[in-house]
Structure 1
Amino acid sequence: MNIGLLLFIPHRHLENRVLDTISAAGFDVTIAQARLLQRIAANGSRLTELAEAAQVTKQTAGFLVDQLEKSGWVERVPDPTDGRARLVCLTDKAKAAAPIADGEVARVEAEWEKHVGKRRMAQLRETLEKLCEITDPYR
């Protein structure tokens, strides 16, 4: 099995666990919407930035943002640095779901640490953070 798949399978597991948990808490969001939500900066993001970060077309990002706005997850506000542009910002609903998602991430990481051991989990985190230095264009 190649390393990309070995990285993807645990990521998919984590993502599904988080979505199941926030869904059980009463927050309805699709995986595509959640992937876009994760990329919204604390002070808001422009649609073009979201599309690029999510590696989708601007039209797809716009469609997802429309859905998220109708569901109360985001709002569009004027960009204070450019009167012609708008920012996509998280709403209180999205901010309320974040600690639930973060809690599930912590539970999954604890399960993984229990399975592989504290030292290996620390090495895995350190290795992945090091790889991000050369693979993450949005660092």
Structure 2
Amino acid sequence: MNIGLLLYIPYRDLENRIMAVITEAGYDVTLAQARLLQRIGPDGTRLTELAEAAQVTKQTAGFLVDQLEKAGYVERVPDPTDGRARLVRVTEKAKGAAPVAEAEIARIEAEWERHIGKRRMTQLREALEKLGEITDPYR
């Protein structure tokens, strides 16, 4: 099995488990919407930047933002640096999901650490952070 698939399988499990607890907590978002929400910066992000970061078309990002806006998870606000542009910003409703997701991530990481051991988990994190230096274009 190639390394990409070996990296993807645990990530997919983590993502599915996070989505399950988010849904159980009453946050009605799809996986595609959640992936877009994750990429919105603390001060808001332009739609074109969201589309690029999520690796979707601007039309797809716009559609997802429309859905999220109708559900009350995001709002569009004027960009203070460019009067012609708008920023997509998360609302307090969306921010409420963060602690739910963070708690599940902590549970999952603890489970993984129990399974592979503290030393290996530390090494895994260090190796992935190092790989991020050459693979993460948004770093």
Fold shared by both chains (TM-score > 0.5):
yes
Per-residue deviation, residues 58-78 of structure 1 (Å, max 9, x unmatched): 000000000110111100000
- Report whether the alignment pairs 1:131 with 2:131: yes
Following TM superposition, by how much is the alpha carbon of 1:125 offset from its aligned partner in structure 2, in angstroms?
0.3
In structure 2, what residue type is equivalent to 1:31?
A: L
In structure 1, what residue type is equivalent to 2:40?
A: I
RMSD: 0.4
**1:1-139 map, 5 Å:** 1-139=1-139
Distance 1:133 1:91 in 2: 31
In structure 1, what residue type is equivalent to 2:60?
A: T
Distance 2:97 2:76 in 1: 19
* 2:96 counterpart SS class: helix
Normalization by structure 1: what TM-score? 0.99
Normalization by structure 2: what TM-score? 0.99
Distance 2:108 2:63 in 1: 31
Q: Which runs of 5+ in 1 are unaligned?
A: none
Following TM superposition, by how much is the alpha carbon of 1:115 offset from its aligned partner in structure 2, in angstroms?
0.3
Per-residue deviation, residues 103-125 of structure 1 (Å, max 9, x unmatched): 00110000000000000000000
Regions of 4+ moved over 6 Å? none
Distance 1:89 1:121 in 2: 34
* 1:15 counterpart SS class: helix
Q: Which runs of 5+ in 2 are unaligned?
A: none
Distance 2:29 2:6 in 1: 26
How many residue pairs get matched? Answer: 139
Distance 2:119 2:125 in 1: 10
Per-residue deviation, residues 58-100 of structure 1 (Å, max 9, x unmatched): 0000000001101111000000000000000000011111010
